[in-house]
Structure 1
Amino acid sequence: MAKNKGARIIITLECSCRNNIELHKIKRKKGIFRYTTTKNRRNTPARLEINKFCPYCNSHKKFKEIK
C-alpha cells in the first residue's frame, strides 16, 4: 500500500526574466528555465521565491513558484 505523503507537495519554480528574454544582451540560450522542488504546504502556504542560477540569463535571479 502507498503511504500518504502528508503536507509536502511538488512545486515548479520559474525564472522571473521569462518576460524580458529579448531585453538581455548577454545570454547563452533562448527559452524559459524551471526548477522543481518540494515544500511543506502547512509551513509555507504563500508562494515561494528563491534566488537560483538561471543559465539563460547567466546570472542569479529570483525564481517564483508557478501553478
Structure 2
Amino acid sequence: MAKNKGSRITITLECQCKNDKITKRKNGIARYTTCKNKRNTPNRLELKKFCTYCNTHEIFKEIK
C-alpha cells in the first residue's frame, strides 16, 4: 500500500527587502523553498535567511 503524504507541504520563502540599498549586488528577488507541517504551523512562516541580492541577512516570508 502507498503511504499518504500527510500534512507536509512545500512552501516558498521570499525576501522582504526593498532591493534599493546602496550595497546591493544585483537586482532581483531572492527565494528559498522548504517544507513545513501545516498542522503544527498553520500561520505563515518567517525565517531569517541570507539574501544574495542585498548581501545581508533579511527576513524571508512565506508566499502563496
TM-score (normalizing by structure 2): 0.93
Question: Closer, same or farther in 2 for the Cα pair 1:60/1:3, shift >3 Å?
Answer: same
1:31 match:
28
Aligned-pair CA distance for 1:4: 1.8
Counterpart mapping for 1:1-67 below 5 A: 2-17=2-17, 20-21=18-19, 23-67=20-64
Aligned-pair CA distance for 1:3: 3.0
Matched residue of 1:4: which SS?
coil
- Deviation track 1:3-22 (CA, whole Å, cap 9, x = no partner) reads 321000000000011xx22x
- Aligned partner letter, 2:15: C
- 5+ residue gaps, structure 1, are none
Let me know the Cα RMSD of the aligned residues. 1.1
The structure richer in helix per residue is 1
Q: Distance in 1 between matches of 2:59 and 2:41?
A: 17
Percent identity reads 69
4+ long deviations beyond 3 Å: none
Matched residue of 1:63: which SS?
strand
TM-score (normalizing by structure 1): 0.89
